[in-house]
C-alpha cells in the first residue's frame, strides 16, 4: 500500500513538475516576445528621437514628400475615435446589461446576450464592409457633406465592435452579484431599476471601470474599421463629418507603400505610442484589480 502511494506521489510530482516547467516556459516566451517588441520599436525609432527629426514627428503635418512626418493628427484621430466610440458603446453596453439583468422581459435577456455573443465572433472586416456599403452612402446623402467616410462613420461602426466587449464584461460582473442580496432588496420593496442603480451598479464599479478601460483599449487598437471607413485624411477634424486617420490605420497604410524611408521609420514612433496606450490600459486594469483586494 505504502509502495503504491509512494509511486503515485512520484508520478504526481513528475506531472506537476512538467506542468510547472511548461507554464514557466510559456510565460517566459510571452514576456520575452513583449520585451523584444518594445526593444525593436525603440531600436528602429531611435534615429528619429536621436536626430533633429523629433520636431518633425511632433507636428500637425504629414507630408512625406515635403519631408514632414508629423504624427499628431493620427494621435488625435486615435484618441478622438476611441473616446467617441466609447461614449456611444459604453452607455449602450450598460443599457444592454440592465435590460438583461432584470429591466427587460426574461425572454429578451437570453436573446440579447446570444446576439451580443454572436457579435464577438463576426470578423471585424465584415463590420467595415457593411459600413462602406450601407452607412457611408447614407451619411453622405443625409448630411450633404464630403464623401461620408468620416469620423462619424468610424465612430458608429467601431461602437458596434466595442459594444460586446463592454457588455460581456459588465454582464459578468452583474452576474457575480449575490442573487440572495437581490432577493432581499426586492423583499424590502426596491423596484428593479432602483435595485440596479443603487445596489448592483455601485457594487460592480470595478467591473464597470474594467469594461471602460478594456473597451477603450479595443477601440484605439482596432485597425480595419478606421482604415475602411474613416477616410484616412491625416488632419485634425473640425466636425464629426470630417475624415480622420488613426495611428493604426496610418501604420497599415504607410507599411503597404513605403520601406526604409523616413516615413517608414516614423511608424516606429507611432508603434511606441500604441504600445504605450496598451501598457497604460494594462496598468489601469492592474490598478483597478489592486483596489479590489
Partner 1 sequence: MAFPSTSCSVFAQNLSVSFSARQVINNLSVEISSRNITVIVGRSGVGKSTFLRSLNRLNEEISGSRTEGTVKLSFKDGTVDIYRDRFPIEELRRRVGMVFQTPHPIPTSIGKNLSLPLKLVLNLPSRKIDDRIEKALTIVHLWSEVKNRLKEPALSLSGGQQQRLCLARTLALEPEILLLDEPTASLDFKASEKIEDLLSELKRDYTIISVSHSIGQARRIADNVLVMKEGSIIKVLAASQFQEKGTLEDLLNEVF
Return the number of the residue (60 or 198) whose C-beta is nearest partner 1. 198
Residues, the chain: 293
Q: Which lies closer to partner 1 via its Cβ, residue 182 or residue 250?
A: 182
Q: Which is nearer to partner 1, 189 or 260 (CB)?
A: 189
Q: Which is nearer to partner 1, 123 or 189 (CB)?
A: 189
Helix, strand or coil, per DSSP, at residue 63: strand
As measured in angstroms, the least distance from the Cβ of 97 to partner 1 is: 18
CB of 287 to partner 1, least distance (A): 21
- Closest CB 177 distance from partner 1, rounded Å: 9
Name residue 63's beta-bridge partners.
68
Quote the least distance from Cβ 271 to partner 1, whole Å. 43
Contact 147, 77 (CB under 8 A): no
CA nearest neighbour of 216 among 287, 171, 165? 165
**What is the Cα–Cα distance from 247 to 234, expressed in whole angstroms?**
10
Q: CB–CB of 241/151 below 8 Å?
A: yes
Nearer of residues 143 and 190 to partner 1, judged by Cβ: 190
Q: How far is the CB of 23 from partner 1 (least distance, A)?
A: 34
DSSP H helical ranges for the chain: 2-50, 54-57, 72-98, 106-121, 124-130, 136-143, 151-176, 179-188, 192-195, 201-203, 205-221, 224-229, 247-257, 262-292
Q: Which residues bind partner 1 (CB under 8 A)?
A: 106, 178, 180-181, 183-191, 194, 198-199, 202-203
Amino acid at each position: 500500500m505504502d509502495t503504491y502511494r509512494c509511486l503515485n506521489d512520484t508520478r504526481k510530482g513528475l506531472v506537476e513538475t512538467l506542468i510547472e516547467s511548461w507554464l514557466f516556459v510559456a510565460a517566459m516566451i510571452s514576456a520575452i516576445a513583449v520585451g523584444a517588441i518594445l526593444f525593436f520599436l525603440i531600436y528602429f525609432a531611435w534615429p528619429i528621437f536621436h536626430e533633429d527629426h523629433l520636431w518633425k514627428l511632433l507636428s500637425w503635418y504629414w507630408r512625406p514628400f515635403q519631408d514632414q512626418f508629423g504624427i499628431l493628427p493620427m494621435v488625435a484621430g486615435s484618441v478622438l475615435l476611441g473616446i467617441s466610440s466609447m461614449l456611444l458603446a459604453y452607455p449602450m453596453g450598460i443599457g444592454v446589461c440592465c435590460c438583461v439583468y432584470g429591466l427587460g422581459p426574461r425572454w429578451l435577456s437570453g436573446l440579447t446576450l446570444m446576439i451580443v455573443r454572436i457579435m464577438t465572433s463576426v470578423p471585424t472586416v465584415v463590420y467595415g464592409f457593411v459600413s462602406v456599403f450601407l452607412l457611408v452612402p447614407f451619411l453622405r446623402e443625409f448630411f450633404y457633406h464630403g464623401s461620408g467616410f468620416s469620423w462619424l462613420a468610424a465612430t458608429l461602426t467601431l461602437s458596434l465592435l466595442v459594444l460586446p466587449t463592454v457588455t460581456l464584461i459588465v454582464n459578468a460582473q452583474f452576474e457575480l452579484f449575490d442573487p440572495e442580496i437581490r432577493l432581499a432588496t426586492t423583499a424590502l420593496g426596491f423596484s428593479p431599476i432602483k435595485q440596479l442603480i443603487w445596489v448592483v451598479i455601485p457594487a460592480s464599479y470595478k467591473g464597470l471601470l474594467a469594461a471602460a478601460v478594456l473597451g477603450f483599449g479595443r477601440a484605439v487598437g482596432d485597425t480595419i474599421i478606421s482604415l475602411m471607413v474613416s477616410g484616412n485624411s491625416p488632419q485634425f477634424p473640425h466636425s464629426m463629418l470630417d475624415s480622420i486617420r488613426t495611428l493604426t490605420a496610418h501604420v497599415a497604410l504607410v507599411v503597404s507603400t513605403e520601406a526604409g524611408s523616413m516615413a517608414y521609420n516614423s511608424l516606429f514612433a507611432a508603434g511606441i505610442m500604441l504600445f504605450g496606450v496598451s501598457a497604460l490600459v494594462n496598468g489601469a486594469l492592474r490598478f483597478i484589480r489592486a483596489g479590489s483586494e
